[in-house]
Structure formats: C-alpha cells, structure tokens
Amino acid sequence: MDVMKHEQNSSALIMTGIGKSFPGVRALYNVDFKLRQGEIHALMGENGAGKSTLVKVLTGVYLMDEGSVRIDENPVIIRSPQDAQKHGISTVYQEVNLCWNLTVAENLFLGREPRKMGLIDWGQMNRKAGELLQELNISADPTAQLDSYSIAIQQMIAIARAIYTECKFLILDEPTSSLDADEVKKLFTLMRKLKDKGVGIIFITHFLEQVYEVCDRITVLRNGELVGEYELEKLPRLELVTKMIGKEIENLSNLNTNKDESRFEGEVPIIEAREVSSGPSRVAPFDLKMYEGEVVGFSGLLGSGRSELVRSIYGADKAVQGQLFIKGKKVRIKKPLDAMRKGMAYLPEDRKVDGIFADLSVRENIIIALQAKKGILKRLTRKEMETYADEYIKLLNIKTANRETPIKSLSGGNQQKVILARWLLTNPQFMILDEPTRGIDVGTKTEIQKLILKLAGEGKSVAFISSEMDEMIRTCSRMVVMRDRYKIKELTQAELNQSAIMKTIAGGEVGNE
C-alpha cells in the first residue's frame, strides 16, 4: 500500500509577497517562502517573528492581505483548511489534534471510513490502517485506543493520517517539544522516510541541534519580514542565531553569578521538605533544602518525577506524607492558594493548560494572582490593574498591541513573559519555574535566564526545571537528579557538567543524598 510515490518532476510550493495585518500589528510584510517536495525545510525565527502567521495563511486559517501562492507554477486560492487539504497541504500541531477515545484506525480514517452496504467495514478499515502503519514503520495496533500510546506515537499517527489524505506538503509545528531523545529519533526516521517518498516538510522548532540533524534548508523570519533562505551547510549555528534575533547573544557564562554554596552554611533554608511524597504514582518520599538567593535545577528524563516533586511542594499535587518548612517554620500546604499566601509562585510546565487564561486580556492575566492573594474583599482598582500591567509589560518587554489584547493572540514566548509578570507582581520569595523556556525563541530564552539570575541576586530562591541541560548548567548552583520518581542525588557546582549529570541519571543509586 504505497501511499505516496516520489515523482521525478518534484513540485514546489511557492509563497510570494505575503502580507498580513491585525489591528495594531503588522504580522507579515512581503514574505517569500519556497518548499520543494522531497525536502525538510526549517522555518525559524523568534516568537512573534511571523512563523505561525505564515503557516496559518498557507493552511487557510488566515486570509492573506497581499501576496500569492503557487503549486507547480499554478496559482492556487486558499481560503480555508479544506482548500489547503485539497491542494495537498496538511498540518500536525504540537498539541495532537486527534480523538483520544477512538481507536488508532478510527482516527486514521475519521470521516473517510470504508463502507459496505452503508455500514462501516471495520475489517477493511483495520487492515488498511495496519498496512499504512507498517509502511511508515509506526509501532501501533490499529484496534488499540489512541490514548494507550505515548504523545510521540500519537504524533506519528497524526502524520500518518495527514499522509493518507494524499498530502504533498506537511507542516510539523513544534513536534518534538514534549518528546524525549529516543522519541525524537523515531520521529526523524519517519520524517526522512516521508522525504524519500517526495513529501515536502516544513519543520518549525526552537531546537537548533535538531534543525542541523534533519533539515536541508532554512528560512529565517524576523519581525514579520524575511531575513533569508539558506542551505543548511552554508549557515553555521551562531550565524543562524544572529539572523534570528538581529544581534549577538550575550554569553550567559560571562555573567557575574555567585554560585559558591558555602555562603549558605548556618543559614535557615527558605524551603525545607522532609520525607515529602505525593504517593507512589507521583513521587517517592524526598528531602530537600533550598536557600535564599540560589537557583536549584531539577534534572531527569521525561517521567522521572521532576514536575511532580515541585508540584507536591506547591500543593498542586496533594502531599500524602512528610513535613514542609518555610524559613524554619512548619507549614501545611493543602492547595496552591495556601502556597501563594506563603510567598510561593509556580510557573507550570504546560502554559496553555495550566498557565494562561486564554480569553482574558494581558492585563487580566497579569493581575489575577495578586488579586487572588489579596482576596475578594480587597479588590484592585482599575487604575491599579492598568498601572501594574503597564509596568510589567515594559519591564519584561512583552510584545503586545496593548494591555487589553487577549493573551491568546500573543506568541508563546510573550505568553510566558505574561505568566512570569503575574508571579513577579506577587513578590514571591520562592519561585518554581517548570520549563519556562520550552517552545520559545533563543532571544527570549536568554532574557528569561538572565531574569532567573537577577531574581536569585535579589535573594529569591528559584527551583528551575528544563529539558535543556546547557541552560541549567549555566544557571543553577546545584542540581537535583530524578529517576523513576525518586530523588537520586544532588550534584554540587563542582559536579555540574553534562557527563556527571547523565551518568547519575543512568546509574545513580536511589536515595536522598
């Protein structure tokens, strides 16, 4: 069942002079983009550079204001996602858009089920699904329910569905942000297989190493304009980053950070956990001390228990045993509001699910935690809200048309800055930052890392979780290593290198060290 053959005369998708504006914002200006069949093409740029807008124009979610689209030199009109699909253009988003309660086969053929005498031919559908999965080397049972598989496999099934709709051009929007290293390798294997079959792939990611591992060409956007199109081997990593942000990135390793742990001797920890656990399905009992002015990293593979550990401290997951102390005083944290009132702040891993209030404005998202902390009887005035919002929009350089813009209209990086502003406004002493730089551009990552160090310099304690080892090594003074929901070991500053961390993750002994 060969779903796609590589034709000798590979077609090309060409976007020319694309322009798109929204009230108060010019999102795209005179952008050109070309995708050939049988290539993997990276679309790069900071958050807010115009990548998502360009893709939404191509897929018919937005109507372009200026420009044209051609396929095989023939002009095409794309006014809806259905038009895009008709022309062989499909998209697989970071959040898998499938039905978790249906089987793999049902998801693959949803809306196109084979029928016999008016009824769904389940045997034929399952057989065709099995052939498609086998051809694409996807390890999944057609009759199994979708939610029995990992996010990585679900994404591959979404790609298989797109391919079966006879797509010639596939857009992968941040497909690797929630995958571990082995899952990324499997996805890249599938991408290369599709490339060999003649599919043109637009790959949107913020992981530079992945771009250089799997892509053929790179197009860079900045501030809604085309910076250029480049052959991969002719664009070194540093030059790519410079083109993306329009300036040299400050080397964080040169920042003046005090990581000498001896300065905490004799001090009372700002946070101390003793045998805290949120249950065997969450995180095993652990001990932890964190002091004012330090950044402690939490490292481990996906599913190791990093997020569950900090959630049990904050009350997002209920602790079933153990004791928690703040500045030497025993406290009971039953829910996040208790933690907030004790001077804690929590930026969650999934900003779209647990972080932003999508339909509320930037102003409302910024002030909501402070209002909750004050209580319903001490309402902020409209003037206070506006003053706070304007202050933090300026402080964190949040790119928004104005304070009343719905936060869902902002780029991912700017949404993250709004959530940071929300918690900074409450003046916390202990901050939990879970993947604060995931899925955002290089320049904003640098800003957030510098902000973390600045907060530590002001005496705040920061728990920092990141899947990017380098940024934690640059930023943290100590590293807690997790494996299989156990705290394995704490690494001191002298031990903070990739080799030591990976060896600990792979072979450390279980226990609280």
pLDDT of residue 262: 60
pLDDT digits (tens, 9 = 90+) for 394-422: 888 888 888 899 888 887 778 888 888 88
Sort strands 169-173 and 200-204 into parallel, antiparallel or unpaired: parallel
pLDDT of residue 264: 67
b/e code 160-194 from CB counts within 10 Å (16+ = b): bbbbbeebbbbbbbbbbbbbeeebbebbbebbeeb
Q: How many other C-beta atoms lie within 10 A of the C-beta of residue 14?
A: 17
Q: How many other C-beta atoms lie within 10 A of the C-beta of residue 360?
A: 16
Which pairs count as long-range contacts for 52-55, CB under 8 Å and 24+ apart, including other chains?
A: 52/173, 52/204, 52/411, 53/20, 53/27, 53/28, 53/224, 54/15, 54/18, 54/28, 54/221, 55/91, 55/171, 55/173, 55/202, 55/204
pLDDT of residue 439: 66
Give the separation between CA 35 and CA 199, rounded to whole angstroms: 10
471's CB contacts (< 8 A; 6+ apart) are 252, 437, 445, 449
Q: Which residues of the chain have pLDDT under 50?
A: 3-9, 249-256, 508-513
With the C-alpha atoms ordered 90, 94, 95, 96, is the resulting torsion angle positive or negative? positive
**Structural domains of the chain, with CATH:** 12-245 (3.40.50.300), 249-343+429-513 (3.40.50.300), 356-427 (no CATH)
Q: Say what the pTM is.
A: 0.58
pLDDT of residue 509: 46
Phi, psi of 58 (to 5 degrees): -65, -35
pLDDT of residue 331: 92
pLDDT of residue 195: 92
